[in-house]
Amino acid sequence: DGGITQSPKYLFRKEGQNVTLSCEQNLNHDAMYWYRQDPGQGLRLIYYSQIVNDFQKGDIAEGYSVSREKKESFPLTVTSAQKNPTAFYLCASQGQGPRGYTFGSGTRLTVV
Amino acid sequence: DAKTTQPNSMESNEEEPVHLPCNHSTISGTDYIHWYRQLPSQGPEYVIHGLTSNVNNRMASLAIAEDRKSSTLILHRATLRDAAVYYCIQPLLTGNQFYFGTGTSLTVIP
């Protein structure tokens, strides 16, 4: 079955450490997105990529970095510069046509 | 501004129909309206999308106003598993991105 996989499901990080969240899709979608969700809030866009080797900042990119070396993969690095990284992180992909996004199941990051 | 307007929360009794409203007064003539729902601690899942005419699938029905400035997601018989946050979305002007607001939190009462 085609889908989008995020790993790990839960992640704990010490303050001052960088951590990378994985997002892989086998849907042959061109566009991929990273969102952050805080409790009781909507989704806020961190970064997005519409094609391999190209990506753009979203609304809250500070303290995050991404790469898009392969169509299937769009990893997100939460750097030590992100002052409040504890959140639920969601990756999504989008193909051609009007159907919209397919989301992963999310990674819950906790800073300890 | 491509943000939609939805009530923060709604309640429904189990096995009764639910009508979830959404206003999208800035939608363009070619933009689809999308609905997603998010269960606790999960990623949003696709529910339905439509352009002008009403749409039905196994999960729900979508009724779109004639002027396309509003729509209603209809769950014909709410179950406890339908308790979720429902998002009504129109694409942003740049990059075909979707803006997810806070949606409508649906509580289903047994």
C-beta atoms of A105 and B43 within 8 A: yes
Round to whole Å and give the CA distance between A60 and B25.
26
Round to whole Å and give the CA distance between B13 and B110.
6
Residue B3: which pLDDT band, with cuts at 50, 70 and 90? confident
C-beta atoms of B103 and A42 within 8 A: yes
C-beta atoms of B103 and A41 within 8 A: no
* Mean pLDDT along residues B54-72: 93
pLDDT at B32 > cutoff 90: no
pLDDT of residue A84: 92
More confident residue, B92 or A81: A81
C-beta atoms of A108 and B41 within 8 A: yes
Q: Which residues of A touch B97 (CB under 8 A)?
A: 33, 45, 48, 58
C-beta atoms of A90 and B45 within 8 A: no
pLDDT of residue B1: 54
C-beta atoms of A41 and B41 within 8 A: no
In DSSP terms, B109 is beta-bridged to B13
Round to whole Å and give the CA distance between A31 and A68.
10
Chain A residues interacting with chain B (CB cutoff of 8 angstroms) = 6, 31, 33, 35, 40-43, 45, 48, 50, 56, 58, 88, 90, 92, 94, 98-106, 108
Choose the closest CB to B43 out of A31, A56, A104: A104
Average pLDDT, chain B: 90
What are A41-79's pLDDT values in tens digits?
Answer: 889 999 999 999 999 999 999 999 999 999 999 999 999
Choose the closest CB to B46 out of A31, A40, A100: A100
Percent residues over pLDDT 90 in chain A: 79
Round to whole Å and give the CA distance between B109 and A45.
33
pLDDT at B6 > cutoff 70: yes
Which residue in B has a C-alpha nearest to residue A90's C-alpha? B43
pLDDT at B94 > cutoff 60: no
pLDDT at A93 > cutoff 60: yes
pLDDT of residue A2: 73
C-beta atoms of B44 and A101 within 8 A: yes
| B105 CA: distance to closest CA in chain A (Å) | 10
Omega cis (within 30) before A8: yes
* Mean pLDDT along residues B84-94: 82
Q: Under a CB-based contact definition with an 8 Å cutoff, are residues B39 and B25 in contact?
A: no
